[in-house]
Amino acid sequence: MRQDRRPYWVKKAYLRFRHWYSNHFLAPACDSLGSHHTFMKPWYIAISGPNIDIGKCATIIAEPGNRVQIGVWGREANQGRISIGDYVLISPGVRISAGDEIVIEDNVMIANGAYITDSDWHGIYDRSARSKAVTPVHIGKNAWLGDGCRVLKGVSIGENSIIAAGAVVSRDVPANVVVAGNPAVVVKELDTERAYVKRSDFFADPEGLELFFDGVDAEVLAQNGFWNWLRGLIAPSRRD
């Protein structure tokens, strides 16, 4: 990992701008957005449609080639819903598309490129209309959705369960298991006697956590000079 050569005040200014951008452009796209959210590169995050709620301490990360898309396309105006709980992690390239309802509970972690949908969006033979069946998706607390997995319509995923990378989930997943494959099947049962360290534990004191990381930045970036950082932007070399 390359050294961060930004002066401390430059990084602080960037973080303030990022927070302003998130509150100015993304918060109004939500019906509710909890406190202490972190949207990394928020200009690559798209939130569209009605009835979208995101809880506190959410972390959503996007990249230029891996945008995050969260959208509701209801059957009628102001229909459809996405509810995302507290302490949820959403990684680059994630798409969450609801026609009726998707509920993601607290502490869920969603890895790069995962896709969650509650609809096929059109029928097999009539491709101009959706099925009349309502097939909501529910993802239980502390579930972990692996890289590139697919969670399809009508699925419920139990608490603590893990969806392996590339898995296609087309039927319900019980709590405390690992599923893999296409279609996904149970390949392992988790030890229910062991305690989990959850994202809510990490964010138990969000104000203190922010102060801690600010202190780390102040110490690590203290010796960085503005002109050396600017030179690295304009004419980068291997040592940058």
Instruction: Give a three-class secondary structure readout of 188-226.
Output: EECCCCCCCCCHHHHCCCHHHHHHHHHHHHHHHCCCCCH
Distance CA 61, CA 1 (A): 18
Q: What per-residue string of b and e applies to 168-206 under the rule 16 or more CB within 10 Å gives b?
A: bbeeebebbbbbbeeebeeeeeeeeeeeeebbbeebeeb
Contacts of 125 (CB under 8 A, 6+ apart): none
Choosing from 36, 37, 122, 138, the catalytic residue is 122
Number of other CB atoms surrounding residue 149 within 10 Å: 25
CA dihedral 122, 124, 126, 131 (to 10 degrees): -50
Phi and psi torsions of 138, nearest 5°: -135, 125
Q: Which residues are 68's β-sheet partners?
A: 45
The amino acid occupying position 134 is V
pLDDT of residue 28: 98
pLDDT of residue 151: 98
pLDDT of residue 229: 86
Phi and psi torsions of 6, nearest 5°: -65, 140
The reported pTM is 0.94
Q: Is residue 37 annotated as part of the catalytic site, yes or no? A: no
Q: Give the start-to-end residue ranges of the domains of the chain.
A: 1-30+205-240, 34-193
pLDDT of residue 1: 56
pLDDT of residue 163: 98
pLDDT of residue 15: 97
pLDDT of residue 177: 98
**Mean pLDDT in consecutive groups of 10 residues from the start of the chain, 240 residues:** 86 97 98 98 98 98 97 96 98 98 98 97 89 95 98 98 98 98 98 96 96 96 90 76
Fold of 34-193: UDP N-Acetylglucosamine Acyltransferase; domain 1 (2.160.10)
Distance CA 158, CA 138 (A): 8
